Structure 1
Amino acid sequence: MKKLSILMVIVFLLTMSYSCSEEFLTKEPPGSTSENVFYDATGIDALLIGTYAMVGGSSLWEISWGASIQNWTYGSAASDDAYKGSEEGDQTPVNDIERWQVQTTNGYPSNKWQWAFGMGVDRANKTIKVINKTEEDGTITADEATQFRAQARFLRALFYFEARLVFGDYIPILDENTEDPSLVTNVNADGAVLKFITDDLAYAASNLPASQAQVGRATKYAAMALAARAYLQDLKYSEAEALLDQIIASGKFTLVPDFMDNFNIETNNNEESIFEIQANVNDINESLNAEMGIGLNWPHGGDIGMCCGFHQPSQNLFNAYKVDANGLPMFDTFNDTDLANDAGIGSDETFVPTDHALDPRVDHTLSRRGIPYKDWGINRGNAWVRKQTDGGPYLPVAKPFFKKSERFSLSTTTGWQTGINANNYRYLRYTHVILWKAECAAARGDLETARTYVNMIRQRAKDSDVVMGKVLITKLPPEAYPWGIGSSDADYLTGGDVDWTQPAANYQIGLYTSFADANAAMEAVQWEQRLEFATEGMRFFDLRRWDDLPNQIGGKSMAEILNGFATADLRVRPSFLSGANFSDNDKYMPIPQNQLDQQVGVLEQRPEYK
């Protein structure tokens, strides 16, 4: 797919008729390239590449922050995983998403709608129309048409799945035969949107190959995994498990040895990846072939400052990595007291990190003061955070970031979003399959299968490399960068004020020996999904679907979880979430007002926003 993304800009220019305007309903601009040039196999493949390009929002940084495929706003900052970060006065629409106070005029949901329908679905549908016409004309064979069509329908399903995550079932169903999208309502029969998504994915799974010559293209297993996740949103466990079992039985995928292999550039497209969104840098100006939707989410302050300090992990998430004497999560008491943080403590003042036992995934997921941060240096805390009172004490999420040794070769050399890099986004990976299988087993009361699959992930975490290097100093003034007073980059893993023979923190992790009942199994599964997928844009959506389980989330409702988080958060950020209150009316984003204004009497607002 990297070769595909290099071509993306050329294809984008050729396919300008594929919805380039700001609105969902578009008019073809004067001088647009006619579809006629695409009526052969080469042209159709170019159209498909253009549709793939939209998945990551390439070349669309103006709207991509609200449309990000990584859902850092709707899935992460809206949950207990993370804060918006940065400063309260920057990107203010996200303040309302974080505080569950979204208005119908908020520009971020509007961006997501525009991306999903005006760009993604529209491109997929127009591509399918060209495929059908070219097959009718005999220019391509039936087999070629089927392969092209299967990819296009996978992509259409992906855009619909993403739209449904954010807006629920109040979205218009548009296919290649829709003559006038402006006349299509977004009020649908129960189950109609899910059926539309899974029908597309069933067709894709039946016709796509098990692997593709070019990485980044959809396969049958990608279609199965996405369909399983779509079913899980409605807790349709039997339908999801049947697909997950096929993926597992295929033997096609394995867990990579190290947890961080899913987040390092050098291990892109590994044996765990099922569908990976490709990223290129420095092939065009501003590296627009990378994932622009998280272009704001890089460290902002101090020695490694870039842009712009958004998407900072929460104190609640840090606390969630506490473990008990057996190395297991502390389900009921994890957030009673906060692990030590340096909120309000200057970098040149004394601060001692916690010695509490922690799940080793913690310091790969968030970066905190006094712990080595990749190969960049000792995290200096306050001086590296844009504004602690607004964004909390932790750096922007660590998983998508790159190493200092990769700067300017695998990160962008142009543009102002200087953290943009070549790290792919593992949209679907085998870890998802394993933990979703565990969830399905727990739901039907198969405690041993649930335990086996949860322990597979915990064992991998136990066997993975931990963050090494016990920092020996408690004051971190500017001259302590990177590895202590008088140090240099050459001291990484060898010297400075760091004992590189010791782990950076007290890491411990244990395996489950048994589950008392199905509720205990489900709670363990829910916790494992949070710890493994933290800050990856899934948490809010998981809480929402689990809210419909008999025992909800460990016996608590989604509202109890999030409102408890907001109350406890006042210990770290005394004012940011003050007065914030989550209710069931906040589970979905509103239909954007600008879309309602274009289709008066056709589109309807979600009931909770009327």
Structure 2
Amino acid sequence: MKKLSILMVIAILLTMSYSCSEEFLTKEPPGSTSENVFYDAKGIDALLIGTYAMVGGSSLWEISWGASIQNWTYGSAASDDAYKGSEFTDQVVVNDIERWEVLPSNNYPGDKWQWAFGMGVDRANKTLRVINGTEEAGTITADEAAAFRAQARFLRALFYFEARLVFGDYIPLLTEETEDPSAVPNENADGAVLSFIIDDLTYAASNLPSTQAQVGRATKWAAKALAARAYLQDLKYSDAEPLLDEIIASGQFSLVDEFIDNFNIATNNNQESIFEIQANVNDINESLNAEMGIGLNWPHGGDIGMCCGFHQPSQNLVNAYKVNANGHPMFDSFNDSDLANDAGIASEETFVPFTDVVDPRLDYTVSRRGIPYKDWGINRGSNWVRKQTDGGPYLPVAKPFFKKDERYNLSTTTGWQTGINANNYRYLRYSHIILWKAECRAAANDPGGALTYVNMIRNRAKNSTPVMGKVMLTQLPLRYIHGAMKAMLTGHNLLPITRWSLTFHLPTVLKR
């Protein structure tokens, strides 16, 4: 009886204990990590690196084409700069984007949403929560917390800026304090999303250093440059211009001598770079630390064959590089007739490239038959294009491609997207700052000031080594500055990345 009574007491005590707490019912999933494991500087930095890793969208692999930070589908393919390329039946949803017929079933915008919020913003906010908890625990100082927080908020602002380019202001504003993201509405008051982005970038600029020991990390200048770009997206010139002035006055950046060095692997992280997304290959399977989002956009055919012939330059883009007898762009008439191309002409047949005078940057941007393609030899036309009848006669955009002597060393040796390479993406660079400053001056009715900054870019192009022929600079009348700025401000392209493409149509006023 006594033994029975003891057992009953134990049972009652256990019952009382379990009734007061149901924690015994909670079992963490295998492999999960408690948040407080990261409550020190080393843990926070690991979380930050994981957030940086999301910037290029590479870790998404199969969905990264729609999530690409280079926005080739929503930018140049949706405008008049490029065609989807490849074949009509491959990635059909991009055809819909190109025709502006996007349906809810189109997975590319969904990929961008998942990347921006499910991956990027989510990681930034979780990192911010850990920073706050670590500071409260006294494991890091207030200054250390501010420095970590500035990087996380810069990254959150970047993901929001990119999301806004595609989805406008119909996006949820989520912070580290948001408990239930699904309860946050997508509709916002006018200016709320821009204000949210600017608040993050203002904090970042105030707490980030001018330089970082590790390339690829955000600096105060990157925060100011992104804030200026965010203002310019809404044509808020008076807000953007002071930030541009600060960057210019810093003296920390300068134009590289050669235009193409902004697109060569050997000149990654040069003096023109303000925020550069790092790429690396052959360190992990599929080279996921490179930019997978443009993994389809390489030549596809013959002895140069990669994958997969997407993102082919348009005839409209090629025509835009026309110049008149004085070396000035032909804004109103460049599409009156097409520059000669080899559409429908087999590689075995004779084709003579056009001899029209053009801005020589054309052949760094577009690869056309009869012209050298980096060190791969002379472009042989149809045999190097996946399907001319579906994508046109020009090879996928040449600038981010690697050189033949870099193959398998600085290009991937794993996976089927064999054009993936170690070329960084210069997300923000000094030439953007110069051209945005020119745009601000034009908007302020100061064509002379605009001309000063445009000529900095023209002079660099003049002094760069052309693919073919010699060049010389002539004077550019102010009316062409007005025309160029009007083209940028009133063009029907959706994204600033496309506007940058237009700025490269600004006259370099060059003759052969």
Common topology (TM > 0.5)? yes
**Which residue number in structure 2 is paired with residue 118 of structure 1?**
118
1:539 aligns to 2:484 (yes or no): no
Preserved contact between residue 233 and residue 496 of structure 2 (Cα < 8 Å): no
**Which residue number in structure 2 is paired with residue 53 of structure 1?**
53
**Which whole-Å CA distance do the structure 1 matches of 2:500 and 2:93 have between them?**
20
CA offset digits 1:495-544 (Å, max 9, x no partner) = xxxxxxxx3xxx6564544414xxx53432466899xxx9998117999x
Q: 1:29 to 1:511 in 2, by over 3 A?
A: farther
- Structure 2 residue matching 1:282: 3-state secondary structure: coil
Q: 1:536 to 1:200 in 2, by over 3 A?
A: closer
- Structure 1 residue matching 2:53: 3-state secondary structure: helix
**Which residue number in structure 2 is paired with residue 67 of structure 1?**
67
**Which residue number in structure 1 is paired with residue 457 of structure 2?**
457
1:521 aligns to 2:481 (yes or no): yes
**Which whole-Å CA distance do the structure 2 matches of 1:171 and 1:118 have between them?**
12
**Which whole-Å CA distance do the structure 2 matches of 1:537 and 1:421 have between them?**
25
Q: 1:123 to 1:320 in 2, by over 3 A?
A: same
Preserved contact between residue 328 and residue 476 of structure 2 (Cα < 8 Å): no
Amino acid at match of 1:270: N
**Which residue number in structure 1 is paired with residue 407 of structure 2?**
407
**Which whole-Å CA distance do the structure 1 matches of 2:483 and 2:382 have between them?**
35
Q: 1:527 to 1:465 in 2, by over 3 A?
A: farther
- Structure 1 residue matching 2:221: 3-state secondary structure: helix
**Which whole-Å CA distance do the structure 2 matches of 1:35 and 1:60 have between them?**
23
| Aligned ranges 1:521-600 → 2 under 5 Å | 521-525=481-485, 538-539=497-498
1:345 aligns to 2:345 (yes or no): yes
- Structure number with greater Rg is 2
**Which whole-Å CA distance do the structure 2 matches of 1:356 and 1:29 have between them?**
66
Q: 1:240 to 1:60 in 2, by over 3 A?
A: same
- Structure 1 residue matching 2:335: 3-state secondary structure: coil
Q: Aligned pair count?
A: 476
**Which residue number in structure 1 is paired with residue 36 of structure 2?**
36
Amino acid at match of 2:498: R
Q: 1:444 to 1:529 in 2, by over 3 A?
A: closer
**Which residue number in structure 2 is paired with residue 312 of structure 1?**
312
Preserved contact between residue 458 and residue 511 of structure 1 (Cα < 8 Å): no
> How far does residue 443 in structure 1 lie from its aligned partner after superposition?
0.1
Q: 1:351 to 1:29 in 2, by over 3 A?
A: farther
- The 10-residue stretch of structure 1 (168-177 or 29-38) with the greater mean CA deviation from structure 2: 29-38
> How far does residue 99 in structure 1 lie from its aligned partner after superposition?
0.9
Preserved contact between residue 285 and residue 415 of structure 1 (Cα < 8 Å): yes
- Structure 2 residue matching 1:274: 3-state secondary structure: strand
> How far does residue 300 in structure 1 lie from its aligned partner after superposition?
0.4
Preserved contact between residue 454 and residue 525 of structure 1 (Cα < 8 Å): no
Q: 1:29 to 1:318 in 2, by over 3 A?
A: farther
Preserved contact between residue 309 and residue 396 of structure 1 (Cα < 8 Å): yes
**Which whole-Å CA distance do the structure 2 matches of 1:433 and 1:112 have between them?**
26
Amino acid at match of 1:538: I
Preserved contact between residue 74 and residue 495 of structure 2 (Cα < 8 Å): no
- Structure 2 residue matching 1:60: 3-state secondary structure: helix
| Aligned ranges 1:332-481 → 2 under 5 Å | 332-468=332-468
- Structure 2 residue matching 1:72: 3-state secondary structure: coil
**Which residue number in structure 2 is paired with residue 4 of structure 1?**
none
- Structure 2 residue matching 1:77: 3-state secondary structure: coil
Q: 1:29 to 1:53 in 2, by over 3 A?
A: farther
CA offset digits 1:401-422 (Å, max 9, x no partner) = 0000000000001110000000
Q: 1:252 to 1:238 in 2, by over 3 A?
A: same
> How far does residue 143 in structure 1 lie from its aligned partner after superposition?
0.6
Preserved contact between residue 254 and residue 271 of structure 2 (Cα < 8 Å): yes
**Which whole-Å CA distance do the structure 2 matches of 1:206 and 1:522 have between them?**
36
Preserved contact between residue 73 and residue 537 of structure 1 (Cα < 8 Å): no
Preserved contact between residue 72 and residue 535 of structure 1 (Cα < 8 Å): no
**Which whole-Å CA distance do the structure 2 matches of 1:536 and 1:378 have between them?**
33
Q: 1:455 to 1:540 in 2, by over 3 A?
A: closer
- Structure 2 residue matching 1:89: 3-state secondary structure: coil
Q: Sequence identity, in percent?
A: 78
Specify every segment of 5 or more residues in structure 1 that has no aligned partner in the other structure, as ranges. Answer: 1-27, 469-502, 547-552, 555-610
> How far does residue 303 in structure 1 lie from its aligned partner after superposition?
1.2
| Aligned ranges 1:120-199 → 2 under 5 Å | 120-199=120-199
Preserved contact between residue 313 and residue 535 of structure 1 (Cα < 8 Å): no
| Aligned ranges 1:163-242 → 2 under 5 Å | 163-242=163-242
**Which residue number in structure 1 is paired with residue 269 of structure 2?**
269
Specify every segment of 5 or more residues in structure 2 that has no aligned partner in the other structure, as ranges. Answer: 1-27, 507-512
Q: 1:376 to 1:207 in 2, by over 3 A?
A: same
| Aligned ranges 1:504-519 → 2 under 5 Å | 508=471, 510-516=473-479
**Which residue number in structure 1 is paired with residue 297 of structure 2?**
297
**Which residue number in structure 1 is paired with residue 23 of structure 2?**
none
Preserved contact between residue 74 and residue 540 of structure 1 (Cα < 8 Å): no
Give the TM-score normalised by the residue count of structure 1.
0.76
**Which whole-Å CA distance do the structure 1 matches of 2:500 and 2:264 have between them?**
25
Amino acid at match of 2:42: T
**Which whole-Å CA distance do the structure 2 matches of 1:291 and 1:344 have between them?**
33
- Structure 2 residue matching 1:426: 3-state secondary structure: strand
**Which whole-Å CA distance do the structure 2 matches of 1:112 and 1:32 have between them?**
26
Preserved contact between residue 327 and residue 508 of structure 1 (Cα < 8 Å): no
Amino acid at match of 1:246: E
**Which residue number in structure 2 is paired with residue 80 of structure 1?**
80
**Which residue number in structure 2 is paired with residue 493 of structure 1?**
none
> How far does residue 102 in structure 1 lie from its aligned partner after superposition?
0.6
Give the TM-score normalised by the residue count of structure 2.
0.90
Q: 1:230 to 1:435 in 2, by over 3 A?
A: same
CA offset digits 1:244-299 (Å, max 9, x no partner) = 00000000000000000100000000000000000000111111100010011110
Amino acid at match of 1:333: S
Amino acid at match of 1:441: R
**Which residue number in structure 2 is paired with residue 5 of structure 1?**
none
